[in-house]
């Protein structure tokens, strides 16, 4: 191989590698870390709990924690959604306020966080409600899978089509108010595949093409679709990952783990000093991002967790805020 051919090969490989990365995640990498909370009201008092959620107090806690962004849950498996969705109501055959909230808590929260210069991101399940077979079947579910990660409906073309319509309703509703999405339950064992991922991502970006999307294939750092922008990175040990580079297969490296003993529960499992060291010398050093799941006490971040995060903020943000 002569020098000219070698040089052209290097240029081609560099260009190909650059083309794979997702520069729309630049702000995410620069945010370094953010907060993730599980707010999942259900049952007879779900609307009351949604109505009583104090977005201003919550936004202040997130600012005190130094969060560059916040992940807020829309729902999980119960079939109750803490936000409106006309498409979901249509398929389920129910009125607003029965299973989807009348209050648009996301719109209110986006405004409150924006005043603190904090970006809002949303969590939703990629599967239809696992615990409500009547609504699930109306949304296209047919077969239930009791293996793998919990109990979930198997994916099929009709389910994916209708669920993408539900997600697009949220995307169109919120537009640029929402900066990204973390979609759970995209498990290959239940039939999820790359093409279904493309359909979901297209729907989630419909209202805001700049929004970034992660699709969760389960615990770990694997990709489930070439359409996603960042790794879901679900991890059961908040100090256990090894970020060696900002990119993995062109996708932004990201970890989501709980600060407590488990998701949204328990006292902190590490000290502020340990978390600061992990952030500075592992995650941030290599351009990664860490989402920290913390418990809620009503509308507020649990006091013990918030105290620890204030120490993290004092160390991490001292030169940037």
Choice between 39 and 22, residue whose per-residue pLDDT is larger:
39
Picking from 76, 78, 82, 85, the residue whose alpha carbon sits closest to that of residue 109 is 82
Q: What mean pLDDT is reported for the chain?
A: 91
Residues 208-236 have a mean pLDDT of 96
Task: Indicate whether 91 pLDDT > 90.
Answer: yes
pLDDT of residue 321: 46
Task: Indicate whether 291 pLDDT > 70.
Answer: yes
Contact 123, 74 (CB under 8 A): yes
Task: Indicate whether 15 pLDDT > 80.
Answer: no
Of all residues in the chain, the percent with pLDDT exceeding 70 is 91
Residues 208-228 have a mean pLDDT of 96
Name residue, tokens 């903020």: 313
pLDDT of residue 259: 98
The pLDDT-based confidence of 54 (bands split at 50, 70, 90) is: very high
Residue partners of 271: CB distance under 8 A and separation at least 6? 308
Task: Indicate whether 81 pLDDT > 90.
Answer: yes
pLDDT of residue 2: 53
Task: Indicate whether 294 pLDDT > 90.
Answer: yes
pLDDT of residue 147: 59
The pLDDT-based confidence of 320 (bands split at 50, 70, 90) is: low
What token pair was written down for 188? 């290959």
List the single range of 16-25, 47-56, 226-235 with lowest mean pLDDT.
16-25
pLDDT digits (tens, 9 = 90+) for 1-14: 555 443 434 333 33
Name residue, tokens 């040990």: 237
pLDDT of residue 20: 62
Q: How many Cβ atoms sit within 10 Å of the Cβ of residue 144?
A: 13
Of all residues in the chain, the percent with pLDDT exceeding 90 is 85
Contact 95, 154 (CB under 8 A): no
pLDDT digits (tens, 9 = 90+) for 31-43: 999 999 999 999 9
pLDDT digits (tens, 9 = 90+) for 101-158: 999 999 999 999 999 999 999 999 998 998 899 999 999 999 887 655 556 899 999 9
Q: What pTM value is reported for the model?
A: 0.91
């Amino acid at each position: 191989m002569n020098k000219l051919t070698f040089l052209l090969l290097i240029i081609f490989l560099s260009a190909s590698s650059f083309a794979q990365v997702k520069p729309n995640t630049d702000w995410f990498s620069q945010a370094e870390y953010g907060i993730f909370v599980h707010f999942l009201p259900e049952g007879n008092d779900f609307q009351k709990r949604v109505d009583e959620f104090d977005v201003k107090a919550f936004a202040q806690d997130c600012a005190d924690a130094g969060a560059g962004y916040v992940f807020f849950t829309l729902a999980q498996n119960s079939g109750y959604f803490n936000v409106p969705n006309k498409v979901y109501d249509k398929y389920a055959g129910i009125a607003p306020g029965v299973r989807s909230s009348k209050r648009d808590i996301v719109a209110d929260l986006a405004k409150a966080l924006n005043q603190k210069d904090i970006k809002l991101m949303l969590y939703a399940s990629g599967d239809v409600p696992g615990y409500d077979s009547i609504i699930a079947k109306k949304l296209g579910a047919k077969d239930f899978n009791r293996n793998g990660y919990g109990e979930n409906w198997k994916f099929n073309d009709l389910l994916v089509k209708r669920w993408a319509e539900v997600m697009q309703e949220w995307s169109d509703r919120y537009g640029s108010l929402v900066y990204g999405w973390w979609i759970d339950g995209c498990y290959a064992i239940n039939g999820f595949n790359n093409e279904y991922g493309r359909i979901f991502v297209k729907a989630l970006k419909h209202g805001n093409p700049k929004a970034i999307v992660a699709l969760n294939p389960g615990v770990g750092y694997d990709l489930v679709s070439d359409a996603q922008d960042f790794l879901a990175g679900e991890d059961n040990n908040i100090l256990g990952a090894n970020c060696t580079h900002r990119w993995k297969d062109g996708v932004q490296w990201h970890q989501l783990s709980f600060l407590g003993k488990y998701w949204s529960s328990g006292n902190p499992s590490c000290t502020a000093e340990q978390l600061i060291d992990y952030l500075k010398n592992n995650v941030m050093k290599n351009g990664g991002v860490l989402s920290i799941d913390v418990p809620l006490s009503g509308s507020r971040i649990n006091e013990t967790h918030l105290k620890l995060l204030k120490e993290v903020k004092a160390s991490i943000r001292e030169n940037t805020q």
